[in-house]
Structure 1
């Protein structure tokens, strides 16, 4: 006969373990919803891209500590929370760069109307679904790692020796899924740039000095900025990451490991390059940059403007 007291205590224990993690999950989702107040769909995507960059910066101290320490505990944290945090922010950035490209491309196709995918409401829904879509496997990955990981037997930078057989399958599936996301966004960006370039060429052949042609040129430039940053930051990483996931035990495993770490460093560099996206695509950001540059170049200019405005007010 089953002891009802033990069963109840076991269920209570499971309940107490489960509720905090679920609460944290919902807290993060609602926080993201709160931060998504914006006047246009483009601004929603840009704000989410900024949030991904900010979260990536918060993850860097853990990665730095891992390289500076030989602690087994830090190594396990790096291979679980540290790695998945990097993946979460990287693929969030990749997806939102794709959304921004779609938004700009639709503006070219429907210059006089608002497509359903360009509305603020749709942007909020897409952004929320994206975060949930990436957070769910990230949390599952970490739970499975801590439940199944092997004890650390050697001091190495590899995470593979900690993986159990079942977790290795999950890890490879995770890597393949991430690579598919990367390829879909990459192909989309190339298509958008190629299609926009064709439209620019057609418009220039019809009427070189038209205002519509100038807008198309700007749109092509904006998509080119997205494609360039995407290729510089994320293509090298994905050329190395998937082979390393399958061949880290082979004779070329060590070489692939160092290439992966170098490519990861390059991918993190997108935090420094994303402001170019904000500058070229966001008028408000450009205005703030120009205002700041004016203050740096002539700190007394703003003061003179205030004094002039004050004197005019006094005269009135």
Structure 2
């Protein structure tokens, strides 16, 4: 059966909408758009002024780029949910904006996995020879970053090109699957399966790397017999912040994505109430995934010493400049007061 003609695709998104998806989520997306733009713009301003002297810095810079690309797709979603732009805006979202959103999201997932492997090599498997290990090498890190972007582009570009059926009206424009050619439907299924598999594989990598890192840190502290309270807390903040952001933002969405995708398939057996509930869960957990753009700058600050030191230096310079101006103003006021006192007349 052709899924484009199935009754499961005939019910449009508005039928599954609710006050949560149409009134609550749009302003929340706008809020994280402005907050994320400020935070990541500032992070990019700092990051791209520091040299790429390690693999970690290369991976983090690429995470900033992925977040900025994801942010570029944010305004379209709340605009469509608020009824702006007409049905043609829904076509733009289906063909371009959604593809950009998901591609940049999985780029962030990939770079989190690479960062975890780099930390694992640095802490658990430090190289005994001179020079950094391959994952810590800048040329290797750049090559892996290009490979990651190329893989995601190869996966995403057909989703753009094969979403080429004309949309005659708003009802058709709201159903992205009806804008896809038959080959586009098959590619969408394959790319969805690939993306979900990519997430779960990255999750296994993170679980392995951070369990090994935690064990190594614990053994190191036991061997030197230090007071571990402050040291352990600082190490945990810096090393495990990425894992916390990964689990908070991406795990809930991928836990409900598989049943939601199955509910959209022909003859899935899901009733309208089940599809409505899965749609609400998908939209809510997708917002958590989007919230990643506001939490990643915290990871940069805690994990990357180069970023942290550059940020603190700039803040100190600004604070020092303001303090100098305040001292100068105070001295000027004192001199004017002294010049106007009776003893100096």
Number of the residue aligned with 1:140: 158
Task: Name the counterpart of 1:237.
Answer: 253
Consecutive unaligned residues of structure 1, counting only runs of 5 or more, are 1-34, 307-316
Secondary structure (helix, strand or coil) at the match of 1:154 reads helix
2-side partners of 1:186 and 1:302: how far apart? 49
- Is the counterpart of residue 98 in structure 1 residue 113 in structure 2? yes
Q: Is the 8 A contact 1:79 1:159 kept in 2?
A: yes
Q: What is the deviation of 1:118?
A: 1.0
CA positional deviation for 1:65: 2.3
**Which residue does 1:57 correspond to in 2?**
71
**Matched residue, 1:312:** none
RMSD: 3.1
Q: Please list, as runs of the form range in 1=range in 2, the aligned pairs for 1:79-98 lying within 5 A after superposition.
A: 79-98=94-113
Q: Deviation at 1:198? A: 1.2
Number of matched residues?
270
Are residues 1:41 and 2:52 paired? no
Higher relative contact order (CA 8 A, sep 6+): 2
Pairs within 5 Å for 1:75-224: 75-108=90-123, 109-110=125-126, 113=129, 114-146=132-164, 148=165, 151-152=168-169, 154=171, 157-209=174-226, 220-224=236-240
Contact 2:87–2:170, Cα closer than 8 Å, also in 1:
no
Structure 1 distance, partners of 2:74, 2:301, is: 25
Say if 1:305 and 1:232 are closer, same or farther in 2 by CA, change over 3 A.
farther
**TM-score, normalised relative to structure 2:** 0.69
Structure 1 residues 106, 178: closer, same or farther in 2, change over 3 A?
A: same
What TM-score does the superposition give when structure 1 sets the normalisation length? 0.75
Counterparts in 2 of 1:24-39, with a 5 A limit?
A: 38-39=52-53
Alignment match, 1:67: 81
Gaps (5+ residues) in structure 2? 1-47, 329-345
In 1, Cα distance between the equivalents of 2:61 and 2:170?
43
Query: Matches of 2:247 and 2:166 in 1, distance apart?
Result: 34
